[in-house]
Amino acid sequence: MSQESLFDLPGTPSGSCQEPPARDLDSVRNAAIECRKCRLSETRRNVVFGEGNPRAGLFVIGEAPGAEEDAQARPFVGRSGQLLDKILLAVGFERKDVYIGNIIKCRPPENRNPLTDEIECCMPWLSEQLDIVAPKILLLLGRVAANTILGNNLSMAAMRGRIIRWNDFDCVVTYHPAALLRNPNWKRPCWEDVQMLRAHYERVCQGSVTRDA
């Protein structure tokens, strides 16, 4: 199988693995839309809050919105978003099955990496999302998202290929879809990562084994 076709595989149905949230994501979204805590509020077109299943067992976290996301106020809707959809479908997740967001809710100018103070201002929104959705597993896309969430400065090679426990979540780190578009040779290791993710999801979220406390 060619690397180009890795994410064109048919998926199997997936579900959520928890009860409905006790709080409403819409109220948090409405507050985030009014946020003016950092300089990114001056250049954004829209706040890209996040979307998906509010009871999702899997929460996908990227770095920041791009131009298309900023225009549509939705995460991962450009070329990298189309590839993310294929990646998820390849291991049995439709977009509606998961929750998708970013560590930064506003697009940095010219798609630069978010600055430390911008991350510090924006992370409370993500923390509220995680608290409300309460997923079992986080899929961290790219080094910036992974380093931010896990609080380290490790390389992708040091974080990939294993389940990392962080707070109450099991985390899987893989390449950001935008990086895969630039470096197609990374599709194979990404495919391995999401296969591991799916197997872990089956154990944790679909009750095939007992989860450790």
Sheet holding 164-166, edge to edge: 51-52, 99-102, 58-62, 137-141, 169-174, 164-166
pLDDT per residue as tens digits for the range 115-169: 999 999 999 999 999 999 999 999 999 999 999 999 999 999 999 999 999 999 9
> What's the pLDDT band for 206 if we cut at 50, 70, 90?
confident
Question: 148: Cβ–Cβ under 8 A, 6 or more apart, which residues?
Answer: 103, 119, 123
Kindly report, residue by residue over 73-115, the tens digit of the pLDDT. Answer: 999 999 999 999 999 999 999 999 999 999 999 999 999 999 9
Q: Give the confidence band of 20 by pLDDT, cuts at 50, 70, 90.
A: very low
CA distance 174 to 143: 8
Q: Which residue has the higher pLDDT, 63 or 13?
A: 63
Fold classification of 23-205 is Uracil-DNA Glycosylase, subunit E (3.40.470)
Q: Would you list the domain boundaries of the chain?
A: 23-205
* Mean pLDDT, the chain, whole residue set: 89
Q: Which residue has the higher pLDDT, 2 or 194?
A: 194
Instruction: Report the percent of the chain where pLDDT is more than 70.
Output: 86
The answer to whether the CB of 44 falls within 8 A of the CB of 106 is yes
pLDDT at 33 over 70: yes
